[in-house]
Amino acid sequence: MKFNLHQIDRFSNARAGTIFTDHGEIQTPIFMPVGTSATVKGVHLRELENDINPDIILANTYHLYLRPTTNIISAAGGVHKFMNWKKPILTDSGGYQVYSLSANRKIKEEGVKFKSHIDGSYHFFTPESAISIQRKIGADIIMAFDECTPYPCDYQYAKTSMNRTHRWLDRCFLQNNKETFFYDYSQTLFPIIQGSVYKDLRKQSAEYISNKNAFGNAIGGLSVGEPAEEMYEMTEVVTAVLPEDKPRYLMGVGTPINLLENISLGIDMFDCVMPSRNARNGMVFTANGTINIKNKKWESDFSLLDSDNYCFVDLSYSKSYVRHLFTINEMLGKQICTIHNLAFYMWLVRESRKHILAGDFVSWKTKMVKQLDQRL
């Protein structure tokens, strides 16, 4: 795996680069659609490949471990063959579930005991097992097992948690070095920076992670309820420490505005359920602001879903028709909005890249943020 940094914007820290993997190139900045259980919910492979066309998607270790199980995925020849996706895949380690399943888990130094949300059975994840499972799943980029702290979170807990994450990281690297490749392509481990919203902890964590000299580095524990300004502040603290020549991945972010602001701060990679989850609730993201398609104001609006035409659904259906699908609880409405939103997110990061390379990113971003902030 290799990363070429082509250009840094003169008036911000925005970057354009290319990550080279055995499953193809990833042009950065990039957004990764979330395919938690080896599927981007409600999206056919043909639509994902041809209409949304991301360079990389994300899947989740915890969910795949439970269903269909790592043995099934391994028997299929890895997650790429299992879902017939030919481009790169990144897997989250399951560390986020330490945060999201807080009522059903117990953290110890050794690892985390989970209660399955499916059948109530108990499972124990350690840094070592998280690496082994991910190597078996077969993603191109695998993530270290970490503890994602909640917000708000007191300083002492954030510090204790960060230090545990660092100790777990050491164990992840040891295990990763022991593992042999299951498949005929390389897999790369990204460590994760923690530290909640405390500048000194974030700086410490960024320094610790940078010293690992991994291929790329991730920033975790943000977009968990903190104000956007604090997210940007923490990103700025961390990117000032991280090596310039390695890709930077901000986990779980975010809104279209969050993406643009963090690209401006030097982030290269993003993932978030927002474009797909919010689509299923009738939220449509556009370059001119956000639409709640379920609102009555769209009942008699026969204009196209989005005349900017990010993908085929935009010119195939009217706002009135898509609203109608939601009022009758027809699943097609959710699919249409999901495909549109993901195609829009891909347009947004690719347009960002164009403007970084052209040298006018900041002026374009300033205009876009004003437009995106509108409720239509």
As annotated, the active-site residues are 92, 271
Residue type for position 86: K
Give just the sign of the alpha carbon dihedral 239, 254, 1, 71. Answer: positive
- Encode burial over 196-211: b for 16+ CB neighbours within 10 A, e otherwise: bbbeebbbbbbebbbe
Count of positions (residues) in the chain: 376
Can you tell me which residue has the tokens 């405390």? 198
158, 201 Cβ separation under 8 angstroms: yes
Nearest-angstrom CA–CA distance, 251 and 333: 28
Q: Which residues pair with 8 in a beta bridge?
A: 15
The neighbour count for residue 181, using CB atoms within 10 Å, is 10
**Phi, psi dihedral angles at 190 (to 5 degrees):** -105, 130
Q: At what angle do helices 331-358 and 256-264 cross, to 10 degrees?
A: 20
Nearest Cα to Cα of residue 79 among 98, 95, 97, 57: 57
Terminal-residue alpha carbon distance, the chain: 43
